[in-house]
Amino acid sequence: METLNGIELLSSLAPDARDALARRCTWRSYRYHQEIISREMETRDVFFIVAGSVRVVNWSYSGREVSFDDIPAGRSFGELAAIDGGARSASVIALEATTVGQVDPEIFMKTVLNHPETARHLMERMAGIIRRSTERIFELSVYGANIRIYADLLHAAERNRRDDNSAVISPIPIHSEIAARVSTTRETVARVLGDLARREIVIQEKDRLTVPDMDLLAELIED
């Protein structure tokens, strides 16, 4: 497991450069829902996920979870603090048994600055984060909770769109996770999904959620 060969950000590095970086990593394993970094941590290390997946989250003063992103194996996190030397912007927890390679920020930045293609990959990743954040700010500013739930379902369904304009979301989204992503309550998510099911805009089955007509779901958002 102590290899960085599957990390997207480092794909342009020569094999010997990746191996050298892997040897500078500290390798750690985490169990389900274990915290990997917290917002209060002063470390600036960068983490490469070689197995498992993680979630980037924050918690309000009342304890409500706000979810920002789920990151799968092959990706990385913690780059922002390494780049600007500032505090962590969020906490990260393991979504399953997860193994990461943890590297010192100075070593990470030296690798980035010495390899232009790696720097370009990092810029593309940061640009993607900014675009998603901008989209989320827009949705929170303009849409009510029900429309934000529609949009979250549409985003999930787009990854599995079929030729007949239907889509399947599997497994069925957990209400609390949708609520964390769109800044509402589980009760509101349950009510909205129930309404969509009654109108047959979505079909709830044992282990999946089917959207028969993607265009119809998109029209609800636009209307």
Q: Which residue has the tokens 């470390």?
A: 43
The DSSP bridge pattern shows strands 167-169 and 209-211 to be: antiparallel
Indicate whether 18 pLDDT > 90.
yes
Q: What is the pLDDT of residues 193-211, one digit of tens each?
A: 999 999 999 998 888 889 9
Higher-scoring residue by pLDDT: 180, 14 = 14
Torsion sign over Cα 79, 80, 81, 82:
positive
Backbone angles phi, psi at 36, to 5 degrees: -95, -50
Q: How far is 133 from 135, CA to CA, in rounded Å?
A: 5
Mapped onto helix, strand or coil, the DSSP state of residue 102 is strand
Tell me the residue length of the chain: 223
Backbone angles phi, psi at 65, to 5 degrees: -80, 135
Q: Is 8 exposed, middle or buried (CB count within 10 Å of its CB: 0-12, 13-18, 19+)?
A: middle
> What does the DSSP assignment read for 17-33?
HHHHHHHHSEEEEE-TT
Left, alpha or beta for 45 (phi > 0: left; psi -120 to 50: alpha)?
A: beta
Q: How far is 20 from 16, CA to CA, in rounded Å?
A: 6
Left, alpha or beta for 161 (phi > 0: left; psi -120 to 50: alpha)?
A: beta
Query: Of 39-43, 98-102, 151-155, 171-175, where does the model show the most confidence?
Result: 98-102
- What distances in angstroms separate CA 56 from CA 80, 145, 169, one per listed residue? 13, 21, 21
| Whole-prediction pTM | 0.75
Q: How far is 71 from 105, CA to CA, in rounded Å?
A: 20
Confidence category of residue 177, pLDDT binned at 50, 70, 90: confident
Confidence category of residue 223, pLDDT binned at 50, 70, 90: confident
What residues are paired with 26 via a beta bridge? 102
Q: Can you give the pLDDT at residue 16?
A: 94
Backbone angles phi, psi at 15, to 5 degrees: -50, -40
Q: Can you give the pLDDT at residue 138?
A: 83
Indicate whether 15 pLDDT > 90.
yes
What residues are paired with 57 via a beta bridge? 67, 91
Q: Can you give the pLDDT at residue 73?
A: 96
pLDDT, the chain, mean: 90
